[in-house]
Every structure is written in structure tokens, then in C-alpha cells.
């Protein structure tokens, strides 16, 4: 059906038409609120292309198909991060282009534009991976002939050139700057001495801490998304774990709990957001003149501490909740001391 002026909304256009969905059922589609007839007809064309998986559709239309599928397969926070990357870094450049018209030179041009804006190497890698994943999806499920990102090559680096972390001395210096706020102090204590992720920390409830056994159970993650508190499963199945903690940390948690009013077993121990922790970290670093690192780098600091204390990669992987020990080795291999000479001496002693 052609687009018509909307009698219910003066000055606006409405399009309504029939289409056949993927099951073969004939359906009617209606959408109103267009400023011009041209916009209404263009929306109809894009909708029909998406229903037919026509690779001549705009990349922006295909992104919606991609997200409709991904929303059932990834966590809400992951999907939200994906949307942000697409909306800010990919759609402004490729959104109006037919997906099958985007070539390797187009991708190179886009990469060079982002590189020139001075983003970190790890962020560039993350953004590039999102575009690559979209084209991989189109190739695998919608018969796009090839992924132009493969010919274009990648950009950025998976890992930062130099990992940031605090030594124990630096951490103790930093925590003096937040000691005047018990919940800030306690949160950073738990992060440094357990290595848990920020979302895991903020999801902890009273019942997750066993002060007699000196353990903390990690079984969920917290995220603030679009103004709502979201509690979801942790990052991977291996992230469900029980972390043993030292007695001094148990005592500190006991004192912290005693200061909180009528806690229930299901109450969150740290009822705040990541933004609060980031603010407190900046404050603590500023007051004590401690080296500034990211919140996530406190997790790296814990791993560095364990390596320094001589623990094995397998134990560290288990404590951090890594799915594979290879992740631990790849991330922290440069922190393990080189002991080639010690190997030679032990082999020599066997003669």
C-alpha cells in the first residue's frame, strides 16, 4: 500500500502494507509518525529487505536484526555496551550504506579515522571486533559473500602495552585516602584481597560471606542499566566460585556489617554503583598522591600479588574465575619471574 497522510496526526505520514514473514504467514504492518512521504516509503523498503534478509539493506537495519538475535544470547550489560559502540563509532560512518556495498578499503578508511582520534590501542581493538562480529554474523546466517574486515586487517591491540597495577605498599598508601568512608574502604579491601570483578563485588549479599569459614561465594553480578538495578549471572560458569579470605579481612567485614543498620541476609553489602567507586578511587589517589589506575586494575593488582607470593597459574585462574588457565597465562605471563638459570642449576644437579 502507498504511504498516506495520517488523519489522526496532522502533518504526519503513515505507511501500511502486507508482507510474508519467515513462517510463510501473511501479515499487515503499520507505522505512523513520518515527517514526509519519502521517509515513510523508505522505512517500508528497509523493513521488507530485513524480512527477506536482503543484503542490500542499510547496515543500520541489519544491526537491529543482529541485536534482536543477540539479546537472547548475551547479558543485558554486554548488549548495552555493544549498542553504545555501534551508535557512537560504527553507525555514524556506515549506517546508511547497504551492507553488501561496504568494502575492505571502506573499513580501512573507517579504521584510520578512529586511529587519528587518539583512542587507546585496546579500545580500538574492541571497536574493530564489534564490526567484525557483525559481518561474521551476516556471512554465517544471511549469505553475505565475504567479511570485508578480514581483508582490511585489524587495528589496535588486545592487551595494553604496560599493565597497570598497585603493589601492596601502593594499595596501603591509597586506602588511607578513603579510610574516612567505611564502605569505600571496605569495598577496596575486598577488591584488592580477592581479585573479584566490580560487578561481583556490588552484587554481594550478607549471605554470600561466611565469616566462620572465611569465604566469600560469588554467584552473581550487579550492573546499573538504564536506571535499573540488574542482577545477572557472573561473566562465565567458572566465575561461580568460593574465594577463601584471610582472617584479618573477615574481622574487617564483621566490623563493617556491625555499622550497618538491621541487615537482612539478602541485602547488598555494597549498595552503590560503579560510578561511586570510580569517584572514590579518584579521591583516594588525589589525597594520597598514589599512582592512578583503573578500577579493573585492582583485579590485576591481586593477580600480581599472588604471582609475587609464588602461587601457580592454575590456582590464580581458579581464584579469579577464569574459564581457562590459558587466559591467566596470556594476561599475566610477563609478570612471572624468569627462572632459566634456576632450571639449568637444577638440571645440572642431576648429573
Domain boundaries, the chain: 4-152, 168-335
Tell me which of 139-143, 164-168, 268-272 is least confident: 139-143
% of the chain surpassing 70 pLDDT: 95
Q: How confident is the model at residue 160 (pLDDT cuts 50, 70, 90)?
A: low
Q: Which pLDDT does position 10 carry in this prediction?
A: 87
pLDDT category of residue 115 using cuts at 50, 70 and 90: very high
CA atoms within 13 A on the CB side of 333: 7
Q: Write down the architecture of domain 4-152 according to CATH.
A: Orthogonal Bundle (1.10)
Average pLDDT over residues 56-71: 90
Q: Do domains 4-152 and 168-335 have the same CATH topology?
A: no
DSSP state of 207: G
Average of per-residue pLDDT across 184-199:
97
| Mean pLDDT along residues 310-316 | 93
Question: Per the structure block, which three cell numbers stand in for 344?
Answer: 639449568
CA gyration radius, the chain: 26
Residue 182 has pLDDT above 60, yes or no: yes
Average pLDDT over residues 119-136: 93
Provide the pLDDT for residue 171. Answer: 97
Q: What is the pLDDT of residue 18?
A: 82
Phi-psi category of residue 310: left, alpha or beta, with phi > 0 → left and psi -120 to 50 → alpha: left
Indicate yes or no: pTM above 0.85: no
pLDDT band at 190 (very low <50, low <70, confident <90, very high): very high
Provide, rounded to the nearest whole percent, the portion of the chain with pLDDT above 90. 59
pLDDT score of 210 more than 80: yes
Q: Is the pLDDT of residue 293 over 80?
A: yes
CA distance 229 to 222: 7
Rounded to the nearest 10°, the torsion over CA 57, 63, 69, 75 is: 180
List alpha helices for the chain, DSSP H. 37-51, 59-70, 76-85, 91-94, 104-115, 121-142, 148-152, 168-175, 182-194, 198-203, 247-258, 274-288, 297-308, 313-320, 325-332, 340-348
Fold category of 168-335 in CATH: hpI Integrase; Chain A (1.10.443)
Is it the case that residue 256 has pLDDT exceeding 60? yes
User: What are the pLDDT digits (tens) for 237-252?
Assistant: 899 999 999 999 999 9
Instruction: Quote the pLDDT of residue 174.
Output: 97
Which three cell numbers mark 166? 598497585
Amino acid at each position: 500500500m502507498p504511504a498516506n497522510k495520517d488523519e489522526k496526526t496532522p502533518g504526519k505520514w503513515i505507511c501500511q502494507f502486507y508482507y510474508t514473514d519467515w513462517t510463510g504467514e501473511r501479515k499487515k504492518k503499520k507505522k505512523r509518525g513520518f515527517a514526509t512521504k519519502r521517509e515513510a516509503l523508505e522505512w517500508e523498503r528497509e523493513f521488507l529487505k530485513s524480512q527477506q534478509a536482503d543484503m542490500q539493506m542499510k547496515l543500520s537495519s541489519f544491526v537491529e536484526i543482529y541485536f534482536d538475535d543477540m539479546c537472547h544470547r548475551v547479558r543485558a550489560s554486554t548488549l548495552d555496551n555493544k549498542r553504545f559502540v555501534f551508535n557512537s563509532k560504527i553507525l555514524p560512518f556506515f549506517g546508511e550504506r547497504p551492507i553488501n556495498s561496504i568494502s575492505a578499503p571502506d573499513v580501512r578508511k573507517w579504521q584510520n579515522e578512529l586511529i587519528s582520534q587518539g583512542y587507546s590501542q585496546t579500545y580500538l581493538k574492541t571497536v574493530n571486533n564489534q564490526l567484525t562480529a557483525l559481518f561474521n554474523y551476516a556471512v554465517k546466517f544471511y549469505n553475505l559473500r565475504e567479511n570485508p574486515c578480514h581483508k582490511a586487517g585489524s587495528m589496535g591491540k588486545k592487551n595494553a602495552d604496560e599493565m597497570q597495577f598497585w603493589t601492596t605498599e601502593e594499595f596501603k598508601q591509597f586506602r588511607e585516602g578513603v579510610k574516612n568512608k567505611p564502605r569505600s574502604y571496605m569495598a577496596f579491601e575486598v577488591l584488592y584481597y580477592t581479585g573479584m570483578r566490580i560487578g561481583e563485588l556490588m552484587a554481594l549479599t550478607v549471605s554470600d560471606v561466611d565469616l566462620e569459614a572465611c569465604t566469600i561465594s560469588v554467584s552473581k553480578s550487579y550492573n546499573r542499566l538504564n536506571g535499573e538495578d540488574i542482577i545477572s549471572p557472573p561473566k562465565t560458569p567458572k566465575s561461580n566460585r568460593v574465594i577463601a579470605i584471610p582472617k584479618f579481612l573477615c574481622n574487617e567485614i564483621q566490623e563493617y556489617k556491625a555499622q550497618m543498620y538491621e541487615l537482612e541476609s539478602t541485602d547488598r553489602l555494597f549498595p552503590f554503583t560503579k560510578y561511586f567507586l570510580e569517584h572514590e578511587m579518584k579521591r583516594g589517589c588525589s589525597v594520597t598522591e598514589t599512582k592512578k589506575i583503573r578500577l579493573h586494575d585492582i583485579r590485576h593488582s591481586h593477580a600480581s600479588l599472588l604471582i609475587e607470593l609464588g602461587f601457580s597459574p592454575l590456582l590464580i585462574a581458579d581464584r579469579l574465575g577464569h574459564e581457562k588457565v590459558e587466559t591467566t597465562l596470556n594476561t599475566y605471563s610477563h609478570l612471572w619471574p624468569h627462572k632459566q638459570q634456576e632450571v639449568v642449576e637444577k638440571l645440572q644437579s642431576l648429573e
